[in-house]
Structure 1
Amino acid sequence: MKIRFSSPKEHQPTQEQGLKVLYAPGKRVAFKLRWYLILLVVTSPLLFLVGREMLGLWLIEAPAQLHVPSSELRAREAGQVAQVLVRPGDKVAAGQLLLRMDNPEWRSRLALLADPAKAAQDETGRRTLGERERESLVRLLNTAQSRLQQLRGLLAANAATRGEVLQAQDERDRRQRDLVEFDRREALPGDDTLDRQRRLESDWLQSRLQGLDLKASDSGVISEVLVGEGENVGPGTLLMRLQRLGEAEIWIYLDPRFAEYASPGQPFRVRLPDGTWLPAEVVRMVEDAAPVPVELREAFSAPNRNLRLLARVKGEWPAFWRVDRLGLKARFPHRWDWLNRWAVKE
């Protein structure tokens, strides 16, 4: 079989077995377009990679993230959540009541102080109110001591923070102080002294119960409520998160190759998710190389550490895009070294 690489159709594309074909020119164009399309599809990955490299050489871009100033509201004492007065998204003012808390143990103690004659005897024995109170204080002191030892062990295993250990130590010291004050009160003679001590203790408990209520430290928006009504919480438990109305910060993760753009006052533009560009400038360079957050990495990119910069926009940030951890794109103006050298020579 002989293969021919030439065909009569190349010389007479409009003839088919001696007959003139009217649609032959159009068919020939469609044939060419089909092969061009196939060639484009085959080479598109290569064109994409080449175009991406060229764009990277032309544009200096870096992932960025918006950080809204926020506060963590924690419980100062152990207690029970009685009422939650706000929900996520509510705007609050400084000093506004956000959450009511109660302590059943302190309420019981107030009831005993209000009626000392009734609480003078136990239901199963003849123990006095003082004995019952001292047993309760000793029990609380032992609980605080055991919790402190447990947290110290967790701190040694890197499973707890030093702040939690210090809070547990403060709680142990308060329990020791309460026990010492009780022994001192018991050593004082006279009924008038005991009555006065009961009144002082009652007022002290009332003030501590009022101090359990949580109020807003600053004006802002409630971003998260982490507890529900009826839930028991301990000292230092995170209850809410509050987004303050201060100036939002922009964290930029710049490639170390472009470290010359990390100087304070460097202008650049930041791109919002809707495509809007805002002018901004670098405030200061954070003295560390931080890993780029997972949500800001490009597809199929390896984890790396970039220079983290602190920046701000020139003007007011749009209220609609005031979202914590919002992903942004920073674009810096190119510094052409060859152009600067040419200008110096001239």
Structure 2
Amino acid sequence: MKVTFSPKKSKDPNREGDIKVEYAPARRAFPRWRWYFVVLLVSSPLLFFFFRVGLGFLWASSPGVVFMEKVSVNCPRPGLVTELPVLRGQEISSGDLIAKVVEPMLEARKAPLIAERRAILAQVPQLAQEGSLKKSLALAGKVLDGERDVLRQVQWLFERGAATRAELNEARGKVVRAEGDVIRAQADLEVASATVDIPQNAVRLAQIEAELGAMEESQGELTILSPIPGVVLDLYAEEGQTVAQGAPVATLGDPDSVSVVAFVDPRYLSMIDLESPARVRFPGGTVMEADPEGRPVIAGPLPSALAEPFSEGKQTVQVYLKTDSPIPLNLMVEGLPVKIHWGFHFPWR
């Protein structure tokens, strides 16, 4: 048996009968670098975590804020604020007006004291007489001092021939009469004091007189002035508001005492050199060197405004830094957040 093979006619793969069929191109090999990119993208959070942990062992940095020494301005007496010409953030000089306060209830406070004084004087007339005699004695003393001054002037003129002996004798006579008035006033006062047999009322009357005198001195508007040149950081009162005695009216910041407070992680204290300068980075990229001001003595929780995720309420040590050059005015803002870099450290040293 003879077998023969005849090759089939070649057939166009893009045609099916008389119909043309378009095929998609064959799938190409996926580049290897794309696989590496996908692996890197998936593992990037884990790599970032290890990077931050490793950086913390080699590079010490701490959050911080700009800090000003603060001066509280308090109201020395209760009253009504009638004028408050300053604003938050305003620069003021020493002696500038901060507020004006009046005490509308002053007359109401004086009335019962005056009534009590009248009652005591009506009950014990000797006390009123004693007070009058004290005033007479004081007046007689002033007259005596004046006559003695006149006598010295007349004596000086008489020695130079500009005054007569009659004028000199007249001046001496006035001095003698004034001395007699003082002696009589002293005697009358001693007699009146001896007849007063109610020391308790006398003490109370003296207290009332002192209180009324203090009220007279403080009557009218009280002006509250700035004790230092500085910046108004905060205001606690408004015009038309009643304030209590000792209540704060404003808080001032002293620009001459601006420093930086760093909140240092306690684990860095044994790794960083607090005697070497640190680098302070301000918002906007400004970098300044600063030296620590003594050893840290205060510890406390990290402010929530500076806390990163998972670090809220973390205990830190406060380190005060003084910049080597003045902080620019646009960065001299109380509470401005900054970053303090202490440099590289090697824990295995």
Q: TM-score, normalised by structure 2?
A: 0.62
**Which residue does the alignment assign to 1:322?**
332
CA distance in 1, matches of 2:82, 2:93: 21
Say which of 281, 293, 300 aligns to 2:291.
281
- In structure 2, the CA distance between the partners of 1:308 and 1:44, relative to structure 1 (3 Å rule), is same
Q: Does 1:214 align with 2:224?
A: yes
Say which of 244, 253, 259 aligns to 2:254.
244
* Equivalent residues of 1:74, 1:238 under 8 A apart: yes
* Secondary structure of residue in 1 paired with 2:310: coil
Q: Does 1:130 align with 2:115?
A: yes
Where do 5+ consecutive residues of structure 1 fail to align?
A: 1-15, 113-118, 120-127, 135-180, 341-346
Q: How far 1:129 sits from its partner (Å)?
A: 5.1
Q: Partner letter of residue 321 of structure 1?
A: L
**Which residue does the alignment assign to 1:106?**
106
* Equivalent residues of 1:75, 1:212 under 8 A apart: no
**Deviating more after overlay: 212-221 vs 249-258:** 249-258
Which residues of 2 match residues 156-171 of structure 1 at below 5 A?
A: none
Which residues of 2 match residues 290-305 of structure 1 at below 5 A?
A: 290-305=300-315
How many residue pairs get matched? 260
* Equivalent residues of 1:262, 1:285 under 8 A apart: no
* Equivalent residues of 2:290, 2:324 under 8 A apart: yes
**Which residue does the alignment assign to 1:41?**
41
* Secondary structure of residue in 2 paired with 1:218: coil
- In structure 2, the CA distance between the partners of 1:201 and 1:292, relative to structure 1 (3 Å rule), is closer
Q: Partner letter of residue 225 of structure 1?
A: L
- In structure 2, the CA distance between the partners of 1:276 and 1:317, relative to structure 1 (3 Å rule), is same
Q: How far 1:41 sits from its partner (Å)?
A: 2.9
* Equivalent residues of 2:58, 2:345 under 8 A apart: no
Q: How far 1:39 sits from its partner (Å)?
A: 2.7
* Equivalent residues of 1:262, 1:309 under 8 A apart: no
Which residues of 2 match residues 136-215 of structure 1 at below 5 A?
A: 188-190=127-129, 193=132, 204-209=214-219, 212-215=222-225
Q: Partner letter of residue 303 of structure 1?
A: G
CA distance in 2, matches of 1:184, 1:96: 50
Cα deviation, 1:241-279, whole Å, max 9, x if unaligned, reads 111222212222222222245665321111111122211
Q: TM-score, normalised by structure 1?
A: 0.62
CA distance in 1, matches of 2:86, 2:121: 39
Q: Does 1:231 align with 2:238?
A: no
**Aligned residues: CA RMSD:** 4.1
Q: Partner letter of residue 319 of structure 1?
A: L
* Equivalent residues of 2:272, 2:342 under 8 A apart: no
**Which residue does the alignment assign to 2:279?**
269
* Equivalent residues of 2:94, 2:228 under 8 A apart: yes
Cα deviation, 1:205-234, whole Å, max 9, x if unaligned, reads 243246832110101111222111221111
- In structure 2, the CA distance between the partners of 1:257 and 1:337, relative to structure 1 (3 Å rule), is closer
Q: Partner letter of residue 128 of structure 2?
A: P
Q: Partner letter of residue 100 of structure 1?
A: K
- In structure 2, the CA distance between the partners of 1:86 and 1:187, relative to structure 1 (3 Å rule), is farther
* Equivalent residues of 1:285, 1:308 under 8 A apart: no
**Which residue does the alignment assign to 2:83?**
83
**Which residue does the alignment assign to 1:13?**
none
**Which residue does the alignment assign to 1:151?**
none
Q: Partner letter of residue 265 of structure 1?
A: E
- In structure 2, the CA distance between the partners of 1:214 and 1:311, relative to structure 1 (3 Å rule), is same
Percent of aligned pairs sharing the same letter: 23
* Equivalent residues of 2:64, 2:260 under 8 A apart: yes
- In structure 2, the CA distance between the partners of 1:337 and 1:89, relative to structure 1 (3 Å rule), is closer
- In structure 2, the CA distance between the partners of 1:189 and 1:297, relative to structure 1 (3 Å rule), is same
**Which residue does the alignment assign to 1:125?**
none
- In structure 2, the CA distance between the partners of 1:99 and 1:41, relative to structure 1 (3 Å rule), is same
CA distance in 2, matches of 1:23, 1:133: 119
Q: Does 1:57 align with 2:57?
A: yes
